[in-house]
Amino acid sequence: MVDVELFYLVNGIRNVYLDWFMLIISWLGEFGAIFIVIGLLSWVLDKKNGKKLFFMFLIALGLKFLICDLIFKGVFFRDRPFMALEGARQLGKVWMNSSFPSGHAFTAFAGAVIFGSKYKKLRVWLFVFAFLTLFSRVYLGMHYPSDVVFGGLFGYLIGLFVLWLDREKIWKKLRI
C-alpha cells in the first residue's frame, strides 16, 4: 500500500515545465542513451580508460537485458501503474511490458557506477541523473516506487560487479 500511496504522491504532481523536464530525463535514459554517448566520448577522448569503460558499460547493458528483461520481467510480471491504477497519469512513450524492475533505473545506476569510478568530477552529476531517472519514471506513470528502487539497486550492484571483474583482470583471463 505504501508503494501505491507514494506513486500517487509523485505522479499527482502537475507542472508543465516539470512534465517536459521529466520527459527529457526519461528520453536520455532510453536504452542507456546518455551513457552510450558518454561511453563513446570517453572512448574518443580518454585513450587510457575510455574504450574499456565503454566495453564495461556494454557488459552491464547485456546483464540488464538478461536480468531485467528476460528473467525478472517474466517471472515477476507486474502491470504498469497507468494500466492498473485509476487516475494514474501517463506521459511519454508507452511500454506495455512488466513494470518490475525499472530498466531505466537499472541502466542509470550501472552507468553512474561504472563511469563515476574513473571520472570523479562527473560522479555527482551521474548520480544526480540516476536519481532524477528514478523520479521521472514514477512521475511519468510508468513505474511504482519499488520498481525504480529495485531497478536502481540491481543496476548499482551490476555496476560494482563489472568493476570487480575489471579489478580481478577477468578480461585478460578471458582474452577480451
pLDDT at 168: 77
- How big is the CA angle at 99 (ends 95 and 104), to the nearest 5 degrees? 75
Q: How confident is the model at residue 171 (pLDDT cuts 50, 70, 90)?
A: low
Asked whether residue 10 carries a pLDDT value surpassing 60, the answer given is yes
pLDDT at 153: 97
Express each pLDDT in 107-124 by its tens digit: 999 999 999 999 999 999
Burial class (CB in 10 A: 0-12, 13-18, 19+), 112: buried
Q: How confident is the model at residue 55 (pLDDT cuts 50, 70, 90)?
A: very high
Q: How many domains does the chain have?
A: 1
| Reported pTM | 0.90
Residue 107's domain comprises: 2-173
